[in-house]
Amino acid sequence: MADETNRESLPSTSDAAERSLVDDVRALVEDGKTLVEAELAYQKSRAAVAGAGAKGVASWGALALALVFFALMAVVIGTLLGLSTVIGPWAATAAVTAALALAAAFCAMIAARRWKHTARLLSDAEDAA
């Protein structure tokens, strides 16, 4: 029974003789079009899922950054209030401002180093290509 099914699914030599090369090419082109349409539909659905996921990630990430900002502001205000009882309000403001400026300069220095490193990698990649 299995042999009969296999024989029926295979094209017979008489079918191959009756078909022309043009018919085979047309069938191949039709199959190619179907494949391209299916692939486009698949990629569109993937893009839709990725877009929805990215929207959620961006929303939650923005909320997390806002909450971190408020937490840092609470730390700054707490530091100001704590230091103002020890060294006075103006000196506390100056000390906290100087500490924040040093931290910002340190972060900017690291960012500049990484920018230069990335630019060097990209220029090496362009030179190699």
Q: Are residues 8 and 35 in the same domain?
A: yes
The residue type at 83: L
Those residues whose C-beta lies under 8 Å from the C-beta of residue 86, and which sit 6 or more positions away, are: 92
Q: Are residues 32 and 83 in the same domain?
A: yes
Distance CA 27, CA 73 (A): 68
Residue 14 binned pLDDT confidence (cut-offs 50, 70, 90)? low
Q: What domain count does the chain have? A: 2
Task: Quick: pLDDT tens for 19-69.
Answer: 788 888 999 999 999 999 999 999 998 888 888 888 889 999 999 999 999
Rounded mean pLDDT, 69-82: 95
Q: Does the pTM of the predicted model rise above 0.75?
A: no
Domain that holds residue 120: 89-129
Res 52: pLDDT: 84
Alpha helix (H) residue ranges in 1-129: 2-9, 13-18, 21-87, 89-128
Q: How far is CA 59 from the centre of its chain?
A: 15
Q: Are residues 110 and 77 in the same domain?
A: no
Mean pLDDT of the chain: 86
Distance CA 86, CA 99 (A): 17
Q: Are residues 75 and 103 in the same domain?
A: no
